[in-house]
Amino acid sequence: MTTKIDQAHDDDTIDLNALFGTLLDHKWLIVAITGVFFAAGLLYTLLATPIYQATAVVQVEQKTPSLPGLTDLTQSLGTTASQAVTEIALITSRLVIGQAVNDLRLDIQTQPWRLPVVGDYLSRGHDPGDLGAPRFGLNRYGWGGEVLDIFKLDLPETLLGKKLELRTGERGQYSLYDDKGNRLLEGAVGALVHGRGVTMQVKRLTANPGTRFDVVEQTPLTTIGHLQTDVVALEQGTDSGIIGLTYNNADPVLAQQVLAHITTAYVRQNVERNSAEAASQLQFVRDQLPKVRQDLDKAQDAMNKFQTQTHSVDLSMQTKGLLDQIVA
């Protein structure tokens, strides 16, 4: 019995010498695997597209209850709710997000072609408008600084959501092709052109001749839905009335513009809502004023008749008369 227990104990014991021996026997394999993963991580860090985060803060003003003591009563009943929850729903509503989509034309997405794998890395360091020279004789790819600003784009329903191709030419000329390679139209910067049911006007085009762009127009509802998911609105703290907004995008300027337009649209609709509510209340008062004045006149006539019939005297008037007599 004792021998079996000792044998089981020996089987559970880790032999460190044997373990180190195994590691030394396979040291080159371990070094190779570690090096491969290190190189892959380094390449991903260098080649991955950086994502920028824009932030904004909105302060929500607490509304004063219409009846004195109403706040204490609702708190005692446990029926209070943070007003920020309602305002967050308004900020991320279709009305506010849709205004930002319309102002920035986010339903039209443009992207220059990049050299596979290393194209994004090679195109960094160029500001918009500062074009990078073509490399390796590949004129169809963008090498940094390309700008394509489309002012107007009307597509038939069959082309919505599909990837179109825009090819640049000399002196602001361009051609637009559908997803099957069929040419839809040709035009120049600033001109409103039509072709095969497509209407297009390019506001700005900065690119080397021959550069290709991917152009996609989504439906407004699709774009709004995606933006509602990407924009995160959370209350900072408990019942603080401060809402923080965050939005991530590969373009830092666009990320800032999106939040700026969202907050501006939210403030504008909030002011318009309060103004409409105040105007409605004022109109109600104006409508009720003639009726109240008529009721007051009737009440005064009834009081005068009652005083005449009962020969009663207004004490305030009688006191005033006595004082006048004493002064005289």
Averages of pLDDT over each 10 residues, the chain, 328 residues:
50 70 82 90 83 90 55 48 79 92 93 90 86 90 93 93 94 93 94 93 94 94 93 86 91 92 90 78 81 81 76 62 70
Q: Which residues contact 178 (CB under 8 A, 6 or more apart)?
A: 159, 162, 164, 165, 184
Counts for the chain of helices (H) and strands (E), in that order: 10, 11
Half-sphere exposure of 314 (CA within 13 A, CB side): 10
Reduced DSSP (H G I as helix, E B as strand, rest coil) percent helix, strand, coil of the chain, to 5: 50, 20, 30
CA quadruple 173, 178, 180, 183: dihedral, nearest 10:
-40
Buried b (16+ CB within 10 A) or exposed e, 184-223: bbebebeeebeeeebebebeebbbbeebbbebbbbeeeeb
pLDDT of residue 72: 52
pLDDT of residue 46: 80
**0.75 exceeded by pTM:** no
| Cβ atoms within 10 Å, residue 105 | 17
pLDDT of residue 316: 63
Please state, in angstroms and rounded to a whole number, the distance separating the CA atoms of residues 74 and 57. Answer: 28
8 beta partners: none
DSSP-derived 3-state class of residue 234: strand
Please state, in angstroms and rounded to a whole number, the distance separating the CA atoms of residues 175 and 197. Answer: 15
First-to-last CA distance in the chain?
Answer: 133
Q: Which residues contact 167 (CB under 8 A, 6 or more apart)?
A: 174, 175, 176, 177, 210, 211, 212, 213
The two tokens of residue 10 are: 């020996």
Residue 117: left (phi > 0), alpha (psi -120 to 50), or beta?
left
- Per the CB < 8 A criterion, the answer to whether 256 and 134 are in contact is no
pLDDT of residue 27: 82
The two tokens of residue 254 are: 């666009």
DSSP-derived 3-state class of residue 54: strand
